[in-house]
Amino acid sequence: MVAGGTVSGAGAPTGPDPRTPSAHQLRLFVALAEELHFSRAAARLFITQSALSQQIKDLERRLGVQLFDRSSRTVTLTPQGRVLLADARGVVTAMDRLSHSASTQARRLSGRLVVGTVGAEAAMPYTRAVLSLLHTRHPQVQIDVRSLHFADHFDALFRHDVDVVFLRPPVPDGIEVQHLATEDRLACLPASDPLAERERITLAQLADRPVIDVPPQVPRVWWDFWAVDPRPGDTPVRYGPVASDVEGLLHLVARGEGMCFLPAAARDLFPRPGVSDVEVTDLPPSTAGLAWLRSNRTEPLIKAVAGAARCVAVA
């Protein structure tokens, strides 16, 4: 290499060709060709008229052709200018497209999002839709899906073991939820229970049936909703043995040790011998949603998945 760094190899220049116009100059050329007035074009481009004039002169020098005929009153394109205008517009459009694409790529997220799911939430259509949309928008994000017990799905968020959870509200303080779906609840009864043979029952008819309980670390605001406690008329709820996940819950129901209430989807997703699902006419529905810690709401990955959830909820 020759000292100064201007020549390498077989004498090939390493710097830019002085005859090559810049994209900026081509953008100025297009603007002036559209305005045919230096003052208006300069105002549109937020530069001074003298700077525009100097750039156009330099562009003409680089191209070796005169682009405009100038007089004291008018500016018109030369025949050469009219021919080159289409190519200049093509270059400007391509540069704009490249800039937009680069900006989009710069905004794309990367990293790892740990997603928790409870019960059958991983199989629900809204869960698949949210994660699919997130992957489409941010393909660099690694999505790690974990199955959680309902005994610890809130703790998993508070411990930062997961970033978000697909779950069934209500939720304790400090957690935000994007609603995704509404669904009826069913009473899950031992098949031997006389009420199991009926198509529909009421909460009053279930007043003396014990409800399967959950471990003490589960927030009561959540299990009180799922146990329907309190009942209409403040009927006290009698609790039975404890289960920490859906499998354990249904196992205890099948053994006749208690009953529980589950989303209607459980009828298809968790069929069990010895368990009958019965509609309850005065049982409020349940909701499904995506949850995250309120303190994490501004983190990029949380904002991205929450945005995908909002789109799915609206669709």
Provide the pLDDT for residue 74. 87
Q: What is the mean pLDDT of the chain?
A: 89
**Stretch 172-182: mean pLDDT, rounded?**
96
Q: Are 179 and 286 in contact (CB under 8 A)?
A: no
- List alpha helices for 165-256, DSSP H: 220-227, 246-254
Task: Please give the average per-residue pLDDT across 13-23, as a whole number.
Answer: 72
Q: What is the pLDDT of residue 1?
A: 35
What's the pLDDT score for residue 3? 38
Q: What does the pLDDT average to over 104-124?
A: 82
Within 8 A by CB and 6+ apart from 230, the residues are: 224, 236, 237
Determine the distance from the C-alpha atom of residue 20 to the mean position of all C-alpha atoms in its chain, rounded to a whole number.
Answer: 44
**pLDDT reported for residue 151:** 87
Q: For 138-147, how does the pLDDT look when each residue is reduced to its tens digit (9 = 90+)?
A: 999 999 999 9
| Block residue for tokens 């249904």 | 250
Residue percentage of the chain with pLDDT more than 70: 91
DSSP-assigned beta bridge partners for residue 259: 211
Is the pLDDT at 22 greater than 80, yes or no? Answer: yes
* For range 232-237, the mean pLDDT: 87
Please state the rounded mean pLDDT for residues 279-304: 95
Reported as a single tens digit per residue, the pLDDT across 90-99 is 998 898 888 7
Q: Which of 21, 95, 17 is nearest to 57 (CA)?
A: 21
pLDDT value at residue 158: 93
Which has the closest alpha carbon to 175: 311, 297, 8? 297
With contact defined as beta carbons under 8 Å apart, do 77 and 85 qualify? yes
Per-residue pLDDT band for 102 (boundaries 50, 70, 90) equals: low
Alpha helices of 199-299 — where are they, by DSSP H? Answer: 220-227, 246-254, 266-269
Identify which of 175, 234, 176 has the alpha carbon closest to the alpha carbon of residue 207: 234
Q: How confident is the model at residue 99, as a pLDDT?
A: 75
